[in-house]
Structure 1
Amino acid sequence: MLMMTAQVTTEILCSDQRHLLWDGAAVARKFYNRTFQLRTGNFEFDRFGAVYGRDYLLQQFGQSGQLTLLQYIPAEPFQMGEVRSVEWPGPLWPVPNRPVCGYDGQDRVCWASSVQYIETAVASAATLLVIFPLMALVLLRLIREHSDKLPWWLISGNSPQMCSGKRILSCFGSARVLRSRHAIAE
């Protein structure tokens, strides 16, 4: 039905009758009195919209990938006639009608156990116990290398000065009074 609807919609758009897309009855009339030739077979609608022909149950899972007729439904007796059996592509066919973890993925079967959480916490803590000391060592090493490059050991020309034998500037620039025995004796 999807392919037939797509074909009718394309015809409406190509014939520049877009206003018909807003009118469901007009779109339905485009299906009347015509035959649709599809990959799955021909579908014919009469002037009232009734379908003529057989309905099919086809399969495409086969080795060739081609459509294979499995069952047909004739128009009059409405009884399904089997042509051949269905070939399922795997051992678990038909697939279960409910997902393993439920439709929302929250079934108890899929919940992680508390053991997994404990293992994850222990592994994370052990990793952090290794990473943080290593980062601290690297940081201390970088600070030490940076401080080794500073010229703290250079003495400027006017740092240690004797002013009349009583003052000297220390390396930190503060003046101190030096008193010798001679200065005290005077």
Structure 2
Amino acid sequence: MAAICVFCASSRTLDQRWLDLAAETGAEIARRGHTLVSGGGCVGMMGAVADGARSAGGTTLGVIPQSLVDLEVADLASDELLVTGSMADRKTLMIEKSDAFLTLPGGLGTLDELFEVWTTATLALHTKPMVLVDVDGFYRPLIDWLAGLADRNFLKPAGLGLLTVVDTIPAALDALTPHLT
């Protein structure tokens, strides 16, 4: 069906609950018949989302820069692993290969990916749906700050409206479904 890109943390020091959330996400993507596109890593939530998809019979596509392959963190179990020359090339290829984007909790790298895909959508460079999963209010301070940007005219309300915010994995995939073929 569709290729759904998941942005999430790759830290090796996360609480188990975040790894479980990622695995649940991958499994739900697979159960719904979609392909998972990930950052191509085998650690943290990134590894868990890919493992979750494969455990539920799904297909995975990883996109990873050579520098991370060299650090031996590549998801070698991926059905397809694309290696890029840089992190910037990685994001570009992930956007090209994906039909939709789902963002789980994460740090700077996750936010970088979210903002790249969101910014390119506000510039009408793509019309792919984007969902932010705000589990337990993880992103609430960010969402409030972004709403404040719109209130001060630093972000157009239409741009803010391009990102759907939900609090569960089923709700995230339900929000994406009408936009996927």
TM-score range, shorter chain: under 0.3
Q: Which has the higher contact order (CA 8 A, sep 6+)?
A: 2
Greater helix content:
2
Higher alpha-carbon Rg? 1
TM-score by length of 1: 0.18
